[in-house]
Structure 1
């Protein structure tokens, strides 16, 4: 922290002009959180608050794409009359209500403002994952956008200017689409055992980042032999991108079992994001296991008549890679050591 302040002081000595009572040593937002206003609307901007100071970036919201940037190759945005950077000093302590309010409160008020005349905004994007240390399952939770301002030249007022060759704004985090609760029964299209799917319940209170979605499994139906498998000896196959393929698909509208069973789905709802399973490697990853038992009528005992066979599907070490939209750098997650896809009964 002392080094950062020291750099600012040095820059001030090299570039300083008369800026009134402003103290360059207080220009420190390293520990401040990044927040935003007007998400999904015009006038979007992000900001950082340090007591009575605010650093504001007003740039298009889609500047923060949920796409990993290549190493040493950030996105760049020129600072101009559309892409703006402000520094403001207020005469009182700030809050989000002050910054985001379309009708500014009476207090605090701006006592000093710097407007950036030129410079470049650099944005480097990284994926965030939440990992279950027990199961090794991971989920993409969002993206971190690290922002650096380079060669930014501020108009400090009264014809004076202040140049920063490098100013670390900090991180801004955007959320990603999240998985719903797939702890639901397997569904099929009639008697078709080669295409299985699960649709989690989506209600009016479901968060916006958990959209309608489906987990689908195209699977070789020969795995469902009407014979009991020996203990600890399931039938196995590998995910292969065709006859055995797992997909996680997010949609822009409510879907149903009937929708997924249509041979020619309508234009709406349509997929907004899709992940597909990586091909399996024998003994290592992308493994399908099917365990078969006998299904009896209720109550289930040895005297009850057999009505069919219950097939339980487990997926081992399955990695899912985003296939749509196509990205320059792949994004993936893992369903963990063992993922219980579910079970269903094939009647005699």
Structure 2
């Protein structure tokens, strides 16, 4: 009898030691898609009667790829909140994003993150044209991981050394590239340009590439994108762009440059190739067709490729 009583006391003592800190409950939303609210800074994941919420300024999701091994790090605090909620019924976006959420389902429990780091690693999402191998950036993927995050819950605390939240994708500004094939040239300089009302593609070209001599069949003049000559620049503008913008000694302040992309220096026989084919265009007149091959444009850590053969356009000259 004494042995039975001793065993019961031991079991009760073990149960009495559980203060909630020793029970590790699993949170798993890895296979759930991330959604976002349009009216606030909340991004979230929903799983039946559970919701995992991250509220940080949308400006934290920069459309700029992270440098290798260098994610953005944010502290969990009152401005960067992480919340895990339980409901008494299936939860929907209306329960997260509405100013006055529906009366049901009801929140039955909530864990609030009190400490930790929010790690965001950003990469560009690219679409590939299989025909010409050109690429365009369609968005930016932000992979979010919580590090050493502590949740305060009703029964104690819970700490995760590494807790993957998942991916959140933001849209990229589309670059129109709606140029026709008519190129203009600034008198007295080597700058040639193509433009629409909102964008431009300029090339400070090596003068020997634009010679008023017909090139032999299948033997175009060849140059390479460089840093002092053959400089190719794409600009996207906010405001109306006209021909008056070009050929000035100083860059005009209007329209405002929204984005600027510069071509990567070419490698002989490999990339950044400029080909110019010259034909006659009437007496004393010449047409120079310029093709850009395997040219990559870069801005910060973002880049995209114009393609295997991008027709820049035709430049007309006379003797």
The Cα shift of 1:153 comes to 1.8
After superposition, the CA RMSD in angstroms is 2.6
Task: Tell me: CA distance 1:214–1:183, structure 2 relative to 1, closer, same or farther (3 Å).
Answer: closer
Task: Tell me: CA distance 1:108–1:266, structure 2 relative to 1, closer, same or farther (3 Å).
Answer: farther
The counterpart of 2:104, out of the listed 80, 103, 107, is: 107
**Following the alignment from structure 2 to structure 1, what is the Cα–Cα distance between the partners of residues 293 and 242?**
27
CA-to-aligned-CA distance 1:105-150 (integer Å, 9 cap, x gap): 2333323222111121111222222233342222233322111112
Long gaps (5+) in structure 2? 1-19
- Summarize the alignment of residues 239-318 of structure 1 with structure 2, pairs less than 5 Å apart: 239-296=225-282, 306=283, 308-318=285-295
Return the index of the structure with the highest Cα Rg.
2
The Cα shift of 1:190 comes to 5.6
The counterpart of 1:334, out of the listed 301, 305, 315, is: 305
Q: TM-score, normalised by structure 1?
A: 0.77
**Following the alignment from structure 2 to structure 1, what is the Cα–Cα distance between the partners of residues 192 and 91?**
54
**Following the alignment from structure 1 to structure 2, what is the Cα–Cα distance between the partners of residues 160 and 188?**
71
The Cα shift of 1:177 comes to 3.0
Q: Does 1:16 align with 2:20?
A: no
CA contact (8 A) 2:53 2:82 kept: yes
CA contact (8 A) 1:238 1:288 kept: yes
Long gaps (5+) in structure 1? 1-12, 18-23, 202-211, 297-305
**Following the alignment from structure 2 to structure 1, what is the Cα–Cα distance between the partners of residues 201 and 105?**
51
- Summarize the alignment of residues 139-288 of structure 1 with structure 2, pairs less than 5 Å apart: 139-157=136-154, 160-188=156-184, 191=187, 194-200=190-196, 212-288=198-274
Task: Tell me: CA distance 1:73–1:222, structure 2 relative to 1, closer, same or farther (3 Å).
Answer: closer
The Cα shift of 1:313 comes to 0.4
CA contact (8 A) 2:113 2:151 kept: yes
Give the 3-state SS of the residue equivalent to 1:62 in structure 2.
Answer: helix
Task: Tell me: CA distance 1:281–1:160, structure 2 relative to 1, closer, same or farther (3 Å).
Answer: closer
Task: Tell me: CA distance 1:106–1:220, structure 2 relative to 1, closer, same or farther (3 Å).
Answer: same
The Cα shift of 1:85 comes to 0.5
The Cα shift of 1:168 comes to 0.8
CA-to-aligned-CA distance 1:199-221 (integer Å, 9 cap, x gap): 245xxxxxxxxxx4321111123
Count of residues in correspondence between the two structures: 300
**Following the alignment from structure 1 to structure 2, what is the Cα–Cα distance between the partners of residues 52 and 213?**
49
**Following the alignment from structure 1 to structure 2, what is the Cα–Cα distance between the partners of residues 237 and 266?**
29
Q: TM-score, normalised by structure 2?
A: 0.83
